Amino acid sequence: MKENVKKALTPLFFAFLLFSYLFGFEQGKQIAHNFVYFSLEMLKLLPFAFILIGLFEVWVKKETIEQHLGERSGYKGYLWAVLLASTTVGGLYVAFPMAYSLYRKGARLSVIFTYLGTSAVCRIPMTVFEATFLGIKFSIIRLVVSLPLIILSSILLEKWLSRQDYQIKEGENITS
For residue 29, tell me if it sits in a domain: yes
Classify residue 52: in a domain, yes or no: no
Instruction: Judge whether 148 lies within some domain.
Output: yes
Which pLDDT score is estimated for 50? 86
Range of the domain at 2: 1-45
Cα–chain center distance at 140:
22
Domain count across the chain: 2
Within-domain flag for 157: yes
Residue 101 and residue 142 share a domain: yes
Local confidence band at 90 (pLDDT 50, 70, 90 cut-offs): confident
Handedness of CA 100, 117, 81, 153 (dihedral sign): negative
pLDDT digits (tens, 9 = 90+) for 147-157: 999 999 999 99
Q: Which long-range contacts (CB under 8 A, 24 or more apart) does 63-67 make?
A: 65/102, 65/105, 65/106, 65/107, 66/105, 66/106, 66/107
The verdict on 79 and 16 lying in the same domain is no
**Whether residues 82 and 144 fall in one domain:** yes
- Expressed in angstroms, the distance from the first to the final Cα of the chain is 11
The answer to whether position 75 is within a domain reads yes
Q: According to the model, what pLDDT value does residue 172 have? A: 54
Residues 98 and 175 in one domain: yes
Across residues 153-169, what is the average pLDDT? 90
Give the residue, 4 or 62, on which the prediction is more confident: 62
pTM of the model as a whole:
0.77
